[in-house]
Every structure is written in C-alpha cells, then in structure tokens.
C-alpha cells in the first residue's frame, strides 16, 4: 500500500513541530534555572537500586550511631549534672498533675510549683521520720532480739548438720577481726569515698530540686528555646511528638508511683501480720526501691527477710520471702498489665531488653531511667508517623497533647 505524498509530508511536519515544542520547553526550563535530571552515570547504573538504597541507609545509621555515642559519652562525663537533670525531669512528671490542678484553681504558676515541691518534701520527710521514730523507739528490743537470734544461729551451727565446733568458730572470728585490723587503710579509703559520694548525692539532690521547680514553673519557655534549635519546617511536627511523649511519660510515672505504693503496702501488711515491729520500715523500703525495676524488689526482699530472720527467726523469714514473692507476682500479672500497660504501650520483651541495656550501660541509674526513656521514645516515634493514630493516652488534667509546661 502506498501512502499519499501529502499525508507523509503532513506527519513529518507534525513530528518536526513536536520536536520544536520540546526543544523550546527545555530551553525555557534552563533559562528559568530549572535543571533537568542528569542521566545516571555508567558506574551508578551498574549498581543495583537496592544496593544503593542500603548504602544510603547504612551511612546515615552510622552517623546517627556516632552522634548517640558522643552524646552518651558527654552525659557520662557530666554524670553528676546529667543524672540530677534526669531526676528533675522524672520529679517534674510526678508533680505535673498536682501543679496543673493548683494552677487551674487560680494559683500563680510559681506558687503552684512551690507548693507541689513542699508536698513532695512533706511526704518523703514524713516517711523517713516515722521510720526513724519506729527504729529509735524499739532499738533496745531489736538489739535483744538480734542477740537471741545470733545465739540460736551459733547453737544450730554447733549442733546441727554442719557440726562445726566452738573452737573452729572462735578461730574464724579471730581471723575476721585480724583481717579487719590489717585492712584499716583500705577501710579508711572506702569511708572517704563514701563521704565524697554522699557529698555528690546531696549536691545532685539540690540540683534536681532546683531543676524540678523551674521545669514546673517555666517549662514552656525552656521548651520553646529548645525548639529554636530545630529547623523551622520540622518544628510543629517534632513539638507535637514531644508533647505526646511527655504525656506518656507523665502517665508512666503516675502509674509507677501507684504500683510502688501497692508493693510497699503489701510488704508492710505482711510484716505486721508476722508480728514484726519494723513493718513500717519494711513497707517504706519496699516503696522506695520499687522505682528501680527488678533490682529494687530483690534488694527490698533480701533486706526484709534478713530483718525478720534476725528479729523473729528463720521460719517467719521464709514466710516473709513467700509474702514478697506473692506481692511481686501481683505486680507482674495484675498491676503492670492494667496500670503500666495502659500508660506505656511497650511490649514486655522490649521492657526486658531495655532494662538489660540500661543496667549494662549505666548500672542502677541506667535501670532507673531505662523504662521512662523507653516510654517517651516509643510515644515520640509513634507520633512522628502520620499513618499511626494517636498514642491513646488520656491527657493530664489541664494539659493538651503537644503542650509542654504552662506559665502563670
């Protein structure tokens, strides 16, 4: 079939017009400063797309990892300051609801923050005062019970299945006294280190209290100043995510306080049921150590069982261990899922590994801060994802999601 000459000429003319329009469009884009994408080089085209994406992710992850290591090194070097700062943040989260409640009733923000701190000092001081008064009032009885328990222990060692003679026991006691006498310089150095650590503790506690007051009173200005370090286009999204994380942290601290109170109440009631005169001290110790996950409960249980053993004998000490085990089981299977589970949507496996990493990196302090940081980080990351709905934590009274501290 032969096409008419006019039709062939017309199609060629159309193609020439299309090429001219395309060339003019490219020239206009170049004149406006719009660069056309360059074709991939021969080297890049030889690399698979997946490999290029993996390489891009790898160097970015390495940079972020180096940044995290650098920040961790600085925080560890300034541990006396950084630890007090983190303690101040946790205290702020604990006192945030009461401060908002007082501020909503018309009190100035500064006065509400000061009253919240005074309430905290009154509660902590009252607990220690009651424990001290109980120990001082029953000191003589405690010493007598300890002497009787020690004599019973010596009798059991001599006449029990171990069959250790009094001569051997006296030899071991003399060797222990000699070891202590010859290690007087080492003991003095340990005492000096303990005194220095006590001074650091007092200074850190003062810093934490000052930080707590200013966080409660002027937290909004502090957060706005910190937000200025973020690029302008990312500020709204990151500030909202930080607000969601803060609400989660407040909910976690509130639930942790309730769990610690139930633990202390259960241990105190159990010690009182066994007839111990130190039930209040045992309950207070359990309440305080409950804020350190895993290790705190173990420490409180060992100390409480030792006190019961010295004052009431080994049988009731074994019963006290059973009471502590029951309290810990109630915490793990009832309180943790219903209270902390609602406050922090973190899988128990993540909690376990978070605690392990915290203890490895920072010891007891790392274990104390591991779960709060995990709670904040989980809510923060979830809020950054637009496809993931809100965290689902009910806002604290007087506070909106995405809002930080309010000034008076």
Per-residue pLDDT tens over the stretch 175-230: 777 777 777 777 777 777 877 778 888 888 889 899 999 999 888 888 888 888 88
pLDDT-derived band at 1 (thresholds 50, 70, 90) equals very low
b/e map 248-275, b = 16+ CB within 10 Å: bbbbbbbbbbebbebbbebbbebbeebe
Q: Is residue 393 part of a domain?
A: yes
Rounded to an integer, what distance in angstroms lies between the CA atom of residue 159 and that of residue 165? 8
Residue 368 lies in a domain: yes
319 is a domain residue:
yes
Tell which residue, 111, 113, 100, has the closest CA to residue 214. 113
Nearest to 270 by CA among 232, 219, 324, 341: 324
CA distance 127 to 120: 11
Residue 119 in domain: no
The mean pLDDT of 19-23, rounded to a whole number, is 52
388 within some domain? yes
Between residues 74 and 170, which one has the greater pLDDT? 74
- Let me know if residue 250 belongs to a domain: yes
- Of 65-69, 188-192, 296-300, 387-391, the poorest mean pLDDT is in 387-391
| Number of folded domains that form the chain | 1
| Helix, strand, or coil (residue 327) | helix
Q: Is 162 exposed, middle or buried (0-12, 13-18, 19+ CB in 10 A)?
A: exposed
DSSP string for residues in 254-321: HHHHHHHHHHHHHHHHHHHHTT-TTHHHHHHHHHHHTTSTTHHHHHHHHHHHHHHHHHH-HHHHHHHH
Q: 404 CB contacts (<8 Å, ≥6 apart)?
A: 219, 220, 223, 242, 243, 246
Structure tokens at 180: 């202590």
Whole-number pLDDT of residue 34: 46
Confidence at residue 404, expressed as pLDDT on a 0 to 100 scale: 43
Structural domain span for residue 281: 232-402
Between residues 303 and 164, which one has the greater pLDDT? 303
262 domain residue, yes or no: yes
pLDDT, tens digit, 9 for 90 and up, residues 43-60 = 566 778 888 888 888 988
Q: Is the pLDDT of residue 9 over 70?
A: no
Residue 354 or residue 14, greater confidence: 354
The confidence score (pLDDT) of residue 340 equals 66
- Work out the number of other CB atoms within 10 angstroms of the CB of residue 301: 22
Q: How far apart are CA 123 and CA 83, in angstroms?
A: 22
- Rounded Cα distance between 72 and 303, Å, is 33
Q: Would you say residue 115 has pLDDT above 90? A: yes
Q: What is the pLDDT of residue 407?
A: 41
The answer to the question of residue 75 being in a domain is no
Predicted pLDDT of residue 341: 62
- pLDDT, one tens digit per residue, over 139-157 is 777 777 777 777 777 777 7
DSSP structural state of residue 333? I
| pLDDT value at 41 more than 60 | no
**Which pLDDT belongs to residue 62?**
92
Taking the alpha carbons at both ends of the chain, their separation in whole angstroms is 91
The predicted-structure confidence for 263-296, as pLDDT tens digits, reads as follows 888 888 988 888 888 888 888 888 888 887 667 7
Angle CA(147)–CA(153)–CA(159) in degrees, nearest 5?
Answer: 135
Q: Which long-range contacts (CB under 8 A, 24 or more apart) does 224-228 make?
A: none
Mean pLDDT across the stretch 81-110?
A: 89
The CB-side HSE value for 84 (13 A sphere, CA atoms) comes to: 16
The pLDDT, as a whole number, for residue 294 is 66
pLDDT, tens digit, for every residue of 184-199? 777 777 777 877 778 8
Say which residue, 294 or 299, is predicted with more confidence: 299
Neighbour-count burial of 247, counting CB atoms closer than 10 A to its CB (0-12 exposed, 13-18 middle, 19+ buried) = buried
Per-residue model confidence (pLDDT) at position 68: 84
Q: Given this model, what pLDDT does residue 398 score?
A: 45
């Amino acid at each position: 079939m032969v096409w008419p000459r006019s039709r062939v000429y017309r199609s060629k003319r159309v193609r020439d017009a299309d090429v001219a329009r395309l060339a003019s469009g490219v020239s206009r884009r170049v004149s406006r400063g719009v660069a056309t994408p360059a074709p991939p080089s021969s080297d890049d085209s030889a690399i698979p797309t997946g490999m290029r994406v993996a390489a891009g992710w790898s160097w970015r992850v390495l940079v972020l990892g180096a940044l995290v290591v650098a920040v961790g090194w600085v925080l560890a070097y300034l541990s006396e300051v950084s630890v007090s700062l983190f303690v101040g943040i946790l205290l702020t989260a604990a006192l945030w609801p009461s401060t908002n409640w007082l501020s909503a009733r018309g009190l100035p923000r500064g006065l509400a923050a000061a009253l919240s701190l005074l309430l905290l000092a009154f509660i902590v001081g009252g607990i220690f005062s009651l424990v001290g008064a109980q120990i001082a009032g029953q000191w003589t009885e405690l010493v007598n019970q300890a002497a009787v328990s020690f004599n019973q222990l010596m009798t059991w060692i001599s006449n029990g299945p171990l069959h250790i003679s009094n001569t051997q026991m006296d030899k071991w006691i003399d060797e222990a006294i000699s070891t202590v006498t010859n290690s007087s310089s080492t003991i003095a150095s340990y005492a000096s280190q303990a005194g220095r650590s006590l001074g650091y503790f007092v200074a850190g506690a003062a810093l934490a209290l000052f930080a707590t007051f200013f966080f409660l009173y002027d937290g909004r200005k502090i957060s706005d100043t910190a937000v200025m370090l973020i690029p302008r286009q990312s500020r709204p999204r990151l500030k909202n995510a930080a607000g969601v994380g803060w609400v989660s942290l407040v909910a976690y601290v509130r639930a942790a306080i309730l769990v610690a109170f139930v633990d202390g109440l259960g241990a105190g009631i159990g010690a009182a049921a066994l007839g111990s005169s130190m039930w209040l001290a045992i309950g207070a110790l359990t309440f305080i150590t409950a804020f350190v996950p895993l290790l705190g409960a173990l420490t409180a249980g060992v100390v409480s069982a030792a006190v019961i053993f010295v004052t009431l004998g080994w049988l009731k000490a074994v019963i006290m261990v059973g009471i502590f085990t029951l309290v810990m089981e109630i915490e793990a299977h009832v309180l943790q899922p219903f209270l902390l589970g609602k406050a922090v949507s973190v899988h128990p496996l993540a909690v376990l590994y978070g605690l392990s990493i915290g203890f490895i990196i920072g010891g007891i302090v790392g274990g104390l801060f591991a779960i709060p940081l995990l709670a904040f980080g989980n809510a923060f990351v979830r809020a950054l994802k637009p496809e993931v709905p809100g965290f689902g934590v009910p806002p604290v009274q007087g506070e909106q999601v995405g809002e930080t501290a309010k000034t008076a």
